[in-house]
Chain A
Amino acid sequence: MTHHTSPKAGTAHASAAPMASMGASLTINGTPHQLLIEPWTTLLDLLREQLGLTGTKKGCDHGQCGACTVLLDGRRINSCLKLAVSLDGSEVTTVEGLGQAGRLHPLQAAFIEHDAFQCGYCTPGQICSAAGLIAEGHARSREEVREQMSGNLCRCGAYTNIADAVLEVLEKGDAR
């Protein structure tokens, strides 16, 4: 994976104000970035197109599927509905920041253990959402987990195993 830490400059139209890129500093997966961002760029597009962090997926691009879920200052949001420029000074954690091959986050390990995915497209969003769910602390029972995970669709229908995986990590209490 290529990490473009020096962003592309904004489209050159010095006099036309709407075309100007703007500066913003974001900490992404623990790394500070000084970025130039076109104001109409969503956080999702910034991550995928400008920073090469393609773990976060674009599903519906309208906040209806949850595939783009990331943690913003520790709380889960839909990255497709946030203008990146508005997040100056914020911290973003994507699935790449939760764990890596050989150093899996407990939720990643539990998703494998419980066979909680088929095609895998929704999985990064499911895992970020589950990390947010555990941090928020409003879910204890299976019913509450399912309700609190309702913002993440899985078109393969792996919901039963997803709930199992999330519940296991929730009950063990070892999510980082």
Chain B
Amino acid sequence: MNPFVYARPDALPEAVRLGATGRAAFLAGGTNLVDLMKENVARPAEVVDINRLALRDIVEIDGGGLRIGALVTNADTAYDERVRRRYPLLCSAILAGASPQLRNAATNGGNLNQRTRCYYFYDVQTPCNKREPGQGCGAIGGANRIHAILGASPQCIATHPSDMCVALAALEAVVRVTGPQGERTIPFEDYHRLPGNEPWKDNTLAPGELVTAIDLPPEGFAAHHTYLKLRDRLSYAFALVSVAVGMRVEEGRVADLRIALGGVAHKPWRRPQAEAAMRGQAPSRELFEAAAQGLLEGAMGQGDNDFKIPLARRAIVRALSQAAAGTPQSQTDKRIA
């Protein structure tokens, strides 16, 4: 790990001021940043420890919804009684990820800002456009079992590793940030980005901006939801493919629907057109297969990860069946219903 200047501000304005140097990293739970620093992937000159900031609350929002603080841990979020009852999809996705030790330390803001687990990004001996712009991509034509099948670019085929963010995408959460220019909100869809020609940018945060909270809208899809995660081990592994579904069923028809995919792209993957095509229809296997087709249109394998395309198609159909039936995937009993 490189030497750095360490600061632990007590208040948000000071944290933002300290973070505005362009060489600083904000430290929250540390579960990803400290690891990246050990690997010399992250080499901040200054580490601004934000753990003393008052961002640890989960509070009601006027008009419904919950505001979850950026420093609330993933575990405290998943086990919060209001989250469990009103946003079981979010609870399920969080508990599908990492391990209890990591969830006890990792924060919600940090979950959004974690970096890809692409092998080449992590290995400073190999080329990576995300780590060192212009070096090239080792994963294209290399070992790419875990890589993207949607929205990739000739510069980068990395995926975003979060489970939590897949649920937040389906819930259409809103990210609250504060930076040198003040406070603003970012719709979840616009928070993470596709790699394009700037794969080093994971998200749309401006330099020095800090996530302060995540707002959950009133609709939590508590009756009809699922988080289905498929991976190489039953626990403690990143998703090869995951599917978050939130559905509202009225009089036997799909009244509202959100589908987000994890493990397949540089950001949680949504195709609102595929969702719109299902509204007003009665749930059926044919309908689910058409939705899967729509979500995966244009999907392209890289060789090792070609299997993800049929896997994702089947996972989407299964997840839609689980949500429609009101039988969400258990994160303890991993048999797929």
Hey, which bits of chain A sit against chain B, CB under 8 A?
17-19, 22, 38-40, 42, 61-63, 66, 69, 72, 75-78, 81-83, 85-86, 88, 129, 132-133, 136, 138, 141, 143-144, 146-148, 150-152
Contacts and interface: CB of A to CB of B under 8 A. Distances in A.
A82 B38 contact: no
A132 B99 CA distance: 12
Given A39-B6, A86-B49, A78 B38 contact: no
Contact of B79 (A63, A138, A141, A143): A138
Interface of B: 1-6, 8, 27, 30-31, 34-35, 37-38, 45, 47, 49, 51, 75, 79, 98-102, 104-105, 235-236, 331-333
Given A66-B99, A86-B27, A143-B333, A17 B79 contact: no
Nearest to B47: A39
Contacts of A152: 99
B3 A63 contact: no
Contacts of A83: 6, 27, 30, 34, 47, 49
Contact of A63 (B35, B100, B331): B35
A19 B100 contact: no
A129 B331 CA distance: 19
Interface majority SS (helix, strand, loop, mixed), chain A = mixed
Given A39-B47, A69-B101, A62 B332 contact: no
Contacts of B98: 151
A62 B35 contact: yes
Given A76-B101, A77-B104, A129-B101, A150 B235 contact: yes
Given A78-B105, A147-B332, A63 B6 contact: no
Nearest to B46: A18
Nearest to A38: B3
B101 A19 contact: no
Given A66-B99, A69-B101, A147-B332, A40 B27 contact: no
Contact of B331 (A42, A72, A147): A147
24 contacts: A17-B5, A18-B45, A39-B5, A42-B34, A63-B102, A72-B105, A78-B31, A78-B102, A81-B35, A82-B30, A83-B6, A86-B27, A86-B30, A86-B49, A86-B51, A129-B101, A132-B101, A138-B79, A143-B333, A146-B235, A147-B332, A148-B100, A150-B236, A151-B100
A146 B104 CA distance: 17
Given A40-B3, A40-B4, A86-B8, A76 B34 contact: no
